[in-house]
Structure 1
Amino acid sequence: MPTTLLRAASALLLTLTALNIPAAHAAGAAPVEVTVNAHAALATVPETGIGTNHAIWDTHLGSDETAGLLRDAGVGLLRYPGGSYSDIYHWADHTAPGGYVAPGTDFDTFMSGVRRTGAQAMVTANYGTGTAEEAAAWVRYANVTKGYGITYWEIGNEIYGNGHYGAAWEADDHPDKSPAEYARHVVAYADAMKAVDPSVKVGAVLTTPASWPDAIVAEGDAGSWNEVVLSTAGSKIDFVVLHWYPGALDRVGHVPDMIRLTREQIARHVGPRAGRIGIAMTEFNTGSSSNGTNTQPGALTAADSYATLLAHGVFTVDWWNVRNGIGAVTEVEGHTDYGDFGLLSSAACTADGSVCEPPLNTPFAPYHALTMVSAFARPGDQFVRAASGDPAVSAHAVRRPGGELAVLLINTSSGTSRPVTIDYEGYTPDAGPATVLTHTNGATSITTSTSGSATARTLPPLSLTTLVLRPATSEAGRPGAPGQPAASDVTATTATITWPRAAPGSRPIVKYELHRQHGAVSEQLGETGGTSFTVDNLEPGTRYTVNVIARDSGGGLSWSSPPLTFTTTTPATGSCTARLSVQSDWASGYVGAIDITNDGAPVNGWTLTFSWPRSWQSLGSGWGGVWTEDGREVKVVNEPGAGTLATGASTSIGFVGDYSGPNVLPSVFKLNGAACTSGPP
């Protein structure tokens, strides 16, 4: 290239860089629209949110360098002794018959590392080859003798993998491998452990919605694994345990329903005090060696998943694991992927020695993702709704106690920069430059700068970007947030919402506003000077999430209350009744039966319609009528000569429903256009 053209190109590149516009995308697509709604609050970030697993086969588990790296990444919880090894590990003599135990990985060494990391510990008590007495002795040693103050204790690892459903990878010496037997022992473990230290919290293993063997009912069981465990042991436990290896990088959208269905199961089978039970994701990894485990695509998925899980109230998400070892070696997005599910390199080599990982403790891309999430969402911050108008860009946001707002933007596009514009509802950022944290494909650290504006950025390809924004005006003297709302007297079209009164700031509170979340925008449902409001004109069979905000006499707004989610019923009476029941389920599909009753005038020719709640659901086959499917809309028309339904008459139809994500069942059915009453069969 001639010298003159080279200088001109260099000048152009410098100009584009100063404007935060990568040269490859200077003249490109329309900006992606991102919306952040500070009024639409979600969960508060817990101290234990960012977690990871330590395993007793990792020789470097207790090293100072390991503790320092995990501390720098903001890790707040460390789980021990490591996956399925938990069910063969005996803590007192530090043995795991049938498995390898590395030197320097005993419990006290682990706890020394936990303290140097500044984290909390979660211990998995041995269910498979252990006893309640052994677990209670571990609690005594940890919390009474040593004073470690360990709060969280799981009972076993993936016990449903003990062969009861066919596949067997988890050690379990109990002759009876049913969920009922596990639940009985959970009760015994909880009683024994809490007799030693009543402050400990005990967790039981559940299956994860839409992950095998969720929803399967084995021969002789009274229900699925989760139904039986929760019904029997729910009153004794303090949290439940999920594991998630989605195996693909596009499954983050499954998270809200995954957590929703888990909470619904807890509520249904535990009873009135179900709200006290937390949810822990004690093993998470992308599980996708083909798409990259330790390269940037996996890191982007990790950040997106951590933020989404924490925003929906999971109190810890624990990466599998700190160091794991080399696997299938591939090239992903221009970088070597070692097929390693760890955060840090173990410096291992392939069997033939042809490929070796980088030096010991070299951070992989997911390590930087966890570091970014911990810098973005700090303990005590409150997640608020954020949404993107392009599926290639993900957005998350938190509001900080001091008034700052942090926005995490994830560009999953390969080789394509994405300009974004950001609109804020319920928050006005300072007009000055933002603090910007960035991690790009192949980068070995997160960079920090002060540049650009709060409302427009260009995101590099395959990148994580966090903006930290200051409010335009001081938030001092504003009211405190209202307390947790509750719903009562919920019908098909109305609900009464009540909440604890907010603490006033420098001016008196004059009213409370009730806002419904519509994605990342809000709809005000009403306002009142009191602490109770009845909402009407609601849609039957519809799920609502609302927040309450206090407003003072000077117009100052509080933070939003914690979210409340409730679902309206179907009509109490009507011209028809439709009841859906699940006859069998195999964790990727199910047989459903719908009983239809005509409660109105005689019908000569009927059509039943309903919608699949999610895009990953579809019709496999149907019987008892003529079934058709158009996108998510399903229509069933009576078979020829079978369309007469006298008043009070019933008919039954059935179908196979396929799903590849959490299976939220249809709840609203219409017969000849009229909404039916529905409910349990």
Structure 2
Amino acid sequence: MRPRATLLVLALVASTVVAPALTAPAVRAQDEPGVRVAVNARAGLEAVDDAAIGVNHAIWDAQLGTPEVSDLLKGAGVGAMRYPGGSYSDIYHWRDHTAPGGYVAPNTDFDTFMAGVRRAGAQAVVTANYGTGTPQEAAEWVRYANVTKGYGVKYWEIGNELYGNGHYGSQWEADDHPDKSPAQYAALVVEYARAMKAVDPTIRVGAVLTTPGDWPDGIVAAGDAGTWNQVVLSTAGPEVDFAVLHWYPGGATGAEVLAKTDRVPEMLRMAREQIARHAGKELGIALTEVNTSYGRNTQPGALFAADAYATLLANGVFTVDWWNVHNGIGTVSTIGGQTDFDDFGLLSSGTCTADGSVCQPALNTPFAPYHGLAMASRFARPGDRFVAAGASDPLVRAHAARRPDGGLAVLLVNQDPARSKPVTVDYAGYAPAEQAQVLSFATGDTGITTSTGAARSVVLPPYSLTTIVLRPATPITGPAAPERPAVDAVTDRSATLTWARPAPGVKYEVHRRLGTTTEQWGETTGTSFTARNLTPGTRYAVNLIARDGAGRVSWASPPLTFTTAAPAAGPCSVRLTNTTDWGNGFVGSVDVTNTGGDPLDGWTLAFDWPTPWQQVASGWNATWTQTGAAVRVGSDQVLAPGATVNTGFVGAYQGPNPLPLVFTLNGNPCTTG
């Protein structure tokens, strides 16, 4: 379990542990092989919401809502502020501004908070008290905020991390309800949502989910009908408007932590799959707490912040809220020659260790992740849309976003702490002017530097963030970008895409995205397209591009993603079931049936894990082996026609745990049960 940052008080200090500075000499850029970055404007991703760049504010922070802090947050491009502060949300009573059992700083009431939000030009994300509150108390808060005061607070969460109420064995969240099950939470979320929307029907209400791959995702507690997400979504999903996730990826080194953003696309895909299956509709996703476990105040934290925000937003999260603005000093160390205070805050609290030997910089001095957020906000602004980007070097992360005015921005993250990286940028579907604005934040910098540079080449300093802001070489005058297509009639080999009525004289090209490249499937002047000869059990990402009679093309549509079904027919059938899950491992049961007409004198089952962090730890009733992601299960026993054999394994995972869809038996594709 992660440290409970949500319960820290600024007055707390920790003993000092200072590690020696181990800084490798920087390698000159000319000594490093060149990195190729590909940006493909034809492969559209998700758009940037006006609440995209968010932070957490807490009622135990005496600087909450002050003009200095509000101006600093505005300077970082913060568009959303969450209140009243993590687990404090479930003990906080807004009307009398109390939190029994916790510390409440002076001048941190709701009106003071909203004054700071307004000064920063942001919006509020408010967490209603579930643990010790009532639906009526939450509804009165909505009335005060939006009817009495006219604050127009749009986003309201119901409680904080309620799965931490002891139901799964760990307890940090206050919950006075005798029944602490997901069923009880879901039933009361329905009451909260109805009471709050009766006051203001325009608000959006969010329910707390577990993050795929993080404890206690996948666990079914005694007496429950399913996992937390399954039960909550089945009951409360139809009543709420968005899902709430938190994400604290672990790791003891910069390399470990910075690699964790690779797991975001699968994490969000699984969350959306759960939402669609159990809620029966789409829900927005808000990631209202995130932080890192390494380099919280130094350059690794800045790199993680910028890369995590860009990755989460590109994959459709509408707000990402850093934990938090101020937090307090922790265990002091030296990282890359810089003092790291192990402080979850973006801004210094100005506190010292217990023995007074080490003190933070002056109150409200920005730490490195503050500048990471500022780089993210200057790279991807509200209304921009992400497009596909990637790099040939795994230590360089690339993101790109197109702008409504025809501009394009490219964010490059050099995760190598010792080496500069000379980069060449290749563009598809976009022709930039040769000169560009270049923003940079490197180790030891106290702010973002701006210069003029080239559109197609740049040198990235070690452990740095660089943004290239481009203008088109010639004005972009093509037709409007199409809307996101829908998908219907998905089989193992085909899928039909549909979209709104086309504009006159425009034809639509259907492009499949493969990483940073695209392939055109076909084109039509109509409103549908059927893709054929697809591969069973395969995920596809598709964009539409409009082309007018003059040959001018539009920006790409938002993406459509879908997965084809498992093979519809075959001489075998496989059923894989996750029978018992404990959060980072599970027991899998596999039934293999010979549905063909001939006996099998020995058999080998084969499948691939969908991610690189899944593995078979042990198996039984057959011989299990794994090479990379490829798993093979073999037996020399005879499998007669119509016969079924059961085998099983213990699986381990360190992230989202999607099960495979495609299996072969002796090389023949199988249906799945």
| TM-score class, shorter | over 0.9
Tell me the equivalent position of 2:656. Answer: 662
Deviation at 1:284, TM superposition (A): 0.5
Q: Give me the whole-angstrom Cα distance separating, in 2, the residues matched to 1:26 and 1:655.
A: 48
Structure 1 residue aligned with 2:436: 434
Q: Is the 8 A contact 1:570 1:668 kept in 2?
A: yes
Percent identical among aligned pairs is 65
Q: Which residue identity is paired with 1:651?
A: V
Q: How does 1:134-173 map to 2 (within 5 A)?
A: 134-173=137-176
Displacement after TM superposition at 1:646 (Å):
2.3
Task: Determine if contact 1:483/1:502 at 8 Å carries over to the other structure.
Answer: no
The alpha-carbon deviation at position 503 of structure 1 amounts to 4.6
Distance in 2 separating the partners of 1:264 and 1:235: 15
SS of 1:606's equivalent in the other structure is strand
Q: Is residue 482 from structure 1 mapped to residue 458 from structure 2 by the alignment?
A: no
Q: 2:273 aligns with which of 264, 269, 283?
A: 264
Q: Which moved more, 1:25-34 or 1:38-47?
A: 25-34
Question: 2:590 and 2:428 mapped to 1: Cα distance?
Answer: 43
Distance (whole Å) between structure 2 residues aligned to residue 29 and residue 339 of structure 1:
32
Equivalent AA in structure 2 for residue 257 of structure 1? E
Per-residue deviation, 1:469: 0.8
Residue correspondence of structure 1 range 535-546 to structure 2 within 5 A: 535-546=531-542
Question: Matched residues in 2 for 1:513 and 1:147: separation?
Answer: 46
Counterpart CA distance in 1 for 2:642 and 2:481 is 51
Q: Report the alpha carbon displacement of residue 177 of structure 1 after superposing the two structures with TM.
A: 0.7
Three-state SS of the structure 1 residue aligned to 2:451 is strand
| 1:117-153 Cα deviation digits (max 9, x unpaired) | 1001011000111111111111111111111111100
Shift of 1:502: 5.0
Alignment of 1:52 with 2:46, yes or no, is no
CA distance in 2 between partners of 1:26 and 1:228 (Å):
53
For residues 27 and 598 of structure 1, the distance between their equivalents in structure 2, rounded to whole angstroms, comes to 60
1:512 has 2:523 as partner: no
Task: Give the deviation of 1:454 after TM superposition.
Answer: 1.3
Closer/same/farther in 2, CA of residues 503 and 299 from structure 1, 3 Å limit: farther
Q: How many angstroms apart in 2 are the aligned matches of 1:498 and 1:85?
A: 46
What's the counterpart of residue 556 of structure 2? Answer: 560
Partner amino acid for 1:594?
A: V
State the 1:29 CA deviation: 2.1
Distance in 2, Cα, partners of 1:240 & 1:567: 22
Q: Give per-residue Cα distances to partners, 1:590-623, cap 9 Å, x unaligned.
A: 1111111111122222111101111111111111
Residue 593 (str. 1) matches residue 589 (str. 2): yes
What amino acid maps onto 2:524 in structure 1?
A: T
**In structure 2, what is the Cα distance between the partners aligned to 1:181 and 1:81?**
23
Per-residue Cα deviation, 1:526-578 (whole angstroms, up to 9, x for no partner)? 11121211111111100000000011112111011110000001122221111
Separation in structure 1 between the aligned mates of residue 382 and residue 501 of structure 2, nearest angstrom: 24
Q: Check the 8 A contact 2:29/2:459 in 1, yes or no.
A: no
8 A Cα contact 1:540 1:570, kept in partner? yes
Aligned equivalents of 2:628, 2:408: Cα separation in 1 = 39
- Residue 647 (structure 1) shift: 2.1
CA contact (8 A) 2:55 2:321 kept: yes
Distance in 1 separating the partners of 2:625 and 2:59: 54
**Would you say the 8 A contact 1:481–1:503 is kept in 2?**
no
Q: Secondary structure at the match of 1:164?
A: coil
Say whether the 8 Å CA contact 1:164–1:178 is kept in structure 2.
yes
SS in 2 for 1:235: helix
Task: Please give the alpha-carbon distance, in whole angstroms, between the structure 1 residues aligned to 2:45 and 2:575.
Answer: 33
**Residue 457 of structure 1 aligns with which residue?**
458
User: Contact between 1:480 and 1:502, CA under 8 Å: does it hold in 2?
Assistant: no
Instruction: Find the residue that maps to 1:203 and give its secondary structure.
Output: strand
Counterparts of residues 291-302 of structure 1 (less than 5 Å): 291-302=294-305
Distance in 2, matches of 1:582 and 1:670, equals 19
Equivalent positions of 1:109-188 (< 5 A) are 109-188=112-191
- What's the counterpart of residue 282 of structure 1? 288
SS at match of 1:487: strand
Bigger relative contact order (CA 8 A; separation at least 6): 2
Partners of 2:468 and 2:29 in 1: CA distance: 21
The amino acid that maps onto 2:472 is P
Residue 651, structure 1, aligned to residue 652, structure 2: no
Distance 1:162 1:26, change over 3 A: closer
Indicate the residue corresponding to 1:500 in structure 2.
500
Name the CA distance, whole Å, in 2 between partners of 1:152 and 1:25: 48
Q: For 1:23 and 1:650, how far apart are their aligned partners in 2? A: 60
CA contact (8 A) 1:513 1:524 kept: yes
Q: What amino acid is the match of 2:286?
A: A
Q: Distance in 1 between matches of 2:491 and 2:370?
A: 47
* Partner amino acid, structure 1, of 2:289: E
Shift of 1:24: 4.7
Matches within 5 A, 1:180-259: 180-248=183-251, 249=257, 250-259=259-268
State the SS of the aligned residue for 2:233: helix
Aligned structure 1 segments of 4 or more residues deviating by more than 6 angstroms: none
Deviates more, 1:28-37 or 1:94-103: 28-37
Contact 1:484 1:500 survives alignment (8 Å): no
1:307 aligns with 2:313: no
* TM-score between the two structures when normalised by the length of structure 2: 0.94
Q: Distance in 1 between matches of 2:216 and 2:631?
A: 27
* Cα displacement string for residues 33-68 of structure 1 (whole angstroms, at most 9, x for unaligned residues): 111010111100000000000000011101101110
2:628 & 2:438 partners in 1: Cα distance? 41
- Aligned residue for 2:612, secondary structure, equals coil
SS at match of 1:374: helix
Question: What is the CA distance between 1:26 and its match in structure 2?
Answer: 4.5
Aligned residues of 1:482 and 1:501 also touching (Cα < 8 A): no
Determine the structure 2 residue equivalent to 1:95.
Answer: 98
- Structure 2 distance, partners of 1:66, 1:462, is 27
Q: Secondary structure of 1:657's partner?
A: strand
Between the aligned partners of 2:173 and 2:287, the Cα distance in structure 1 is: 18
Residues in 2 aligned to 1:472 and 1:62: alpha-carbon distance in whole angstroms: 44
Instruction: Give the whole-Å Cα distance in 1 for the aligned partners of 2:142 and 2:116.
Output: 18
Instruction: Sort the Cα spacing of 1:356 and 1:654 in 2 relative to 1 into closer, same or farther, 3 A.
Output: same
Q: Which amino acid aligns with 1:389?
A: S
Q: Deviations over 1:281-319 (max 9, x none)?
A: 000101x1xx31010011101100000000000000000
Post-superposition offset of 1:217 = 0.6
Alpha-carbon offset, residue 415 of structure 1: 2.1
SS in 1 for 2:31: coil
- Give the Cα–Cα distance (whole angstroms) in 2 for the partners of residues 23 and 618 of structure 1: 37
**What is the rounded CA distance, in whole Å, between the counterparts of 1:23 and 1:128 in structure 2?**
51
Matched to 2:433, the amino acid is D
- In 2, distance between residues paired with 1:188 and 1:42? 35
1:666 aligned partner, one-letter code? P
Work out which of the residue numbers 16, 31, 40 in structure 2 matches 1:28. 31
Shift of 1:23: 9.3
Are residue 574 (structure 1) and residue 577 (structure 2) matched? no
Letter aligned with residue 63 of structure 1: T
Structure 2 stretches of 5 or more lacking a match?
Answer: 1-24, 252-256
Structure-2 separation of matches of 1:442 and 1:244: 27
Q: Is the 8 A contact 1:54 1:78 kept in 2?
A: yes
Give the counterpart of 1:353 among 347, 351, 356: 356
The answer on 1:632 being equivalent to 2:629 is yes
Q: Distance in 2 between matches of 1:631 and 1:64?
A: 54
Q: Which amino acid aligns with 1:479?
A: P
Cα pair distance change 1:23/1:200, threshold 3 Å: closer
Backbone CA RMSD of aligned residues: 1.2
Q: SS where residue 136 of structure 2 aligns?
A: helix
**What does residue 427 of structure 2 align with?**
424
Deviation at 1:156? 0.4
Structure 1 segments unaligned to the other structure (5+ residues): 1-21
Q: 1:336 aligns with which of 329, 336, 339?
A: 339
Equivalent of 2:613, from 611, 616, 619? 616
